[in-house]
Structure 1
Amino acid sequence: MSQVQPYPLQFKPEMKERIWGGRALEQFGLELPEGSIGEGWMIGDHPNGTTKVISGPLAGLGLDEIREQYGKEWFGAKGFSEKNGRFPLLIKLLDCNDDLSIQVHPSDDYEALPAGELGKTEMWYILDAKPGAKIIYGLKEGVDRAALEQAINEGRIMDGLQEVPVEAGDAFYIPAGTVHALCAGVVVAEIQQNSDTTYRLYDYNRPGLDGKLRELHIEDSLNVIAYEGAGATRMKTSAASPGQWLTIAESPYFVVDKGVVRERWQLETNPASFVILVIAEGSGELKWSGSSQTVKAGECFLLPATLGQYELDGSMTVIRSLVA
């Protein structure tokens, strides 16, 4: 193996047009293709989007190639999906210019998953929210499969869903089986299992990008919903103190912490896991073994488990993800 010293990897995002997208990701200085851009896949190792490194000795290599060449050493003991060998997480920024479909994701053990695909447990950190913005987050108390199926058949699914107002800084943990939808007016950082499987329950009878109604997946959705709840949690994160990590989501697949940087903060990677840093707001500097890089809101970095000591400095909010 060639001796490339581990360093923080930054990738060129893969931008995805979505019927509900917009242009808000431009606020981070990201280059957007034409159209309604709903998702920026910032760190991805999936057949539907594999990001490539933009700087340093590994520039031009995809995350899949880095995984194959350096993964065992760089990504840590838990840096792989046991099911398909790929990088275990997918990191996105989402611009919800319109409401997303009412949807649910399966767990790893759902038998109808496509071959090699994982389930999808995820979490959202709200980066920006217009006044009055809301999300759909779970079923109302007492809604079971029969009640939900009847509501769908009668065209009143919304009656059975919980609406939650949101503001910047809110964090939502969304285990597989939780019915959910982001609604218009929010920009979100999403940390999720490396999966692209979504079952749609309802899409407002609106045409997709091709002018046709988008496919619904009622039977799969009804099968995978956790009617008794899957352990979804949410929290306000304004209590985060400078220089201390506040855990905002915890799952079998990832642990996500919020950190506020106001002065030099010395940190260290752990051999068990890579670290992903999403700069949520502000700007500053990331330093490691004699090198440094300026960083700003909207940028995402993959720190190898073998990086060792690193330092954050400046005035910024950082979302850190590790593999549990």
Structure 2
Amino acid sequence: MKSYPLQFKPEMKERVWGGRALEQFGLDLPEGPIGEGWMIGDHPNGTTKVLNGELAGLGLDEVRERYGKTIFGTKAAAAEGSRFPLLIKLLDCNDDLSIQVHPDNDYKELPAGELGKTEMWYVLDAKPGAKIIYGLKPGMTREVFAESIRDNRIMDSLQEVEVQAGDSFYIPAGTVHALCAGVLVAEIQQNSDTTYRLYDYDRLGLDGKPRELHVEHSLNVTAYGDSGATRMKTDIDAANSWLRLAASRYFIVEKGVSEGVWKLATSPESFTILVICDGTGTLDWADGSLPAKRGDCFLLPADLGEYSLNGGLTVLRSYLP
């Protein structure tokens, strides 16, 4: 088989805080409030299937089993039988998400087979005045934080940040955070679905029952002090060049803006994931071409080699460090 860029049928997730904004990307949404589109995923809670080419109809798990080292690269294939290391999402926050925190890989009470969760957000769109919760206030200790939760004063302990389209946030495990209403983001994260909720506004879930909180787990995994979280504006000074947004032991994420023909290449060490944030154009390689538009996500095999972005595209590029 000759390698080619893979596109997948997203797994749509109904969430109490979701809406219908993902329809703007031409995605087919089921009924209800859809908060998450899992665009590229290989997880027990959602595995995407290939839409195009010779591998059409195969789940990403089946692609991994058949062509893991060839397509995913030597770094991803280092652990025999391991799942695809990243999970790529688009999130529509029609309402506030719960105040939450994620564990790291070393937390002893992780669910069996699950990983920790370090992630990053790129803001695709934000309504005027939209904000996020991003970390604890300086000097916060576990004891003071726990007291604020007991006294129903958790918001007094948290930092709020107003956001605009183009903002980028790196969120290492242990960073208390929450997306708030009116924000649409692309999320690149470890392949994990473990979230510990600290506070959920006394909200009922889709089943009409109060949503479960995980206060003790949350207090255990929260980083008190510097969690390593960073944020930045991402204006691009020059076309056809990369601006690094996040770098961790799990992923590197960069932003670029193509102009004309931008010639690039994959590495045999790692796959490349492209998320199209804006614009229209094409993704071309030696054996073919695919249209590219806002909201599209592509998995480029490690052995694809040379490819190019053509037209005016704002793109996120993710790969393994």
Output the TM-score relative to the length of structure 2.
0.98
- Aligned pair partner of 1:42 in 36, 39, 42: 39
Which position in structure 1 is the counterpart of 2:153? 156
CA distance in 2, matches of 1:269, 1:21: 35
After superposition, the C-alpha distances for 1:81-103 in whole angstroms (9 at most, x for unaligned) are 84971000000000000000000
CA shift, 1:239, in A, is 3.1
> 1:149–1:80: structure 2 CA closer, same or farther, 3 Å change rule?
farther
* 1:103 is the counterpart of 2:87: no
Query: Tell me, what secondary structure is at the counterpart of 2:4?
Result: coil
Partner residue, 1:230: 227
CA contact (8 A) 1:260 1:317 kept: yes
Tell me by how many angstroms 1:241 deviates.
2.2
Q: Does 1:272 align with 2:278?
A: no
Opposite residue 124 of structure 2, the aligned amino acid is L
Task: Go from structure 1 to structure 2 and tell me whether the alpha carbon gap of 1:224 and 1:43 turns closer, same or farther (over 3 Å shift).
Answer: same
In the alignment, which residue of structure 2 is the partner of 1:116?
Answer: 113
- Contact 1:84-1:117 at 8 Å conserved across structures: no
Q: Quick one: distance in 2 between partners of 1:5 and 1:281?
A: 29
Judged with a 3 Å threshold, the aligned counterparts in structure 2 of structure 1 residues 256 and 205 are, in CA distance, closer, same or farther, namely: same
Cα shift readout 1:31-85 (whole Å, capped 9, x = no counterpart): 1000000000000000000000001000000000000000111111112484971
- Letter of the 2:266 partner, please give it: T
Superposition map of 1:109-258 within 5 A: 109-258=106-255
Q: 1:151 to 1:83 in 2, by over 3 A?
A: farther
Report if the CA contact (8 A) 1:81-1:87 is conserved: no
Partners of 1:274 and 1:172 in 2: CA distance: 23
1:121–1:37 CA distance, 2 compared to 1 (3 A): same
SS at match of 1:9: coil
Which residues in structure 2 correspond to 1:24-103 (within 5 Å)? Answer: 24-80=21-77, 82=79, 85-103=82-100
Cα contact 1:11–1:42 (8 A) shared by 2: yes
Q: CA RMSD in A?
A: 1.0
1:313 matched to 2:306: no
Q: Which amino acid aligns with 2:273?
A: I
Q: How far apart, CA to CA, are the structure 2 residues paired with 1:259 and 1:23? A: 28
1:167, distance to aligned residue in structure 2 (A): 0.2
Give the CA deviation at 1:169.
0.2
- C-alpha displacement at 1:214, in angstroms? 0.4
Q: How many equivalent residue pairs?
A: 321
Cα distance in 1 for residues equivalent to 2:208 and 2:77: 39
| CA deviation map 1:293-318 (0-9, x unaligned) | 11100010000000000000111100
The 1-side partners of 2:299 and 2:32 are apart by 28
What is the letter of the counterpart of residue 317 of structure 1?
T
Alignment deviations for residues 164-190 of structure 1 (CA, whole Å, 9 cap, x no partner): 000000000000000000000000000
The gaps in structure 1 that reach 5 residues or longer are none
Q: Give me the TM-score of the superposition, normalised by structure 1.
A: 0.98
Q: Is the 8 A contact 2:65 2:81 kept in 1?
A: no
Query: Per the alignment, in what secondary structure is the counterpart of residue 53 of structure 2?
Result: coil
Find the residue that maps to 1:57 and give its secondary structure. helix
Name segments (4+ residues, structure 1) moved above 2 Å. 80-84
Q: Does structure 1 retain, via aligned residues, the 8 Å contact 2:264–2:306?
A: yes
Q: Can you list the C-alpha shifts for 1:235-275, whole angstroms capped at 9, x where unaligned?
A: 00013521001001111100000010121000000111000
Return closer, same or farther for 1:34/1:271 CA change in 2, 3 Å cut-off: same
Q: Which residue of 1 aligns with 2:11?
A: 14
What percent identity do the matched residue pairs reach? 70
The match for 2:301 among 285, 289, 304 is 304
C-alpha separation in 2, matches of 1:113 and 1:177: 13
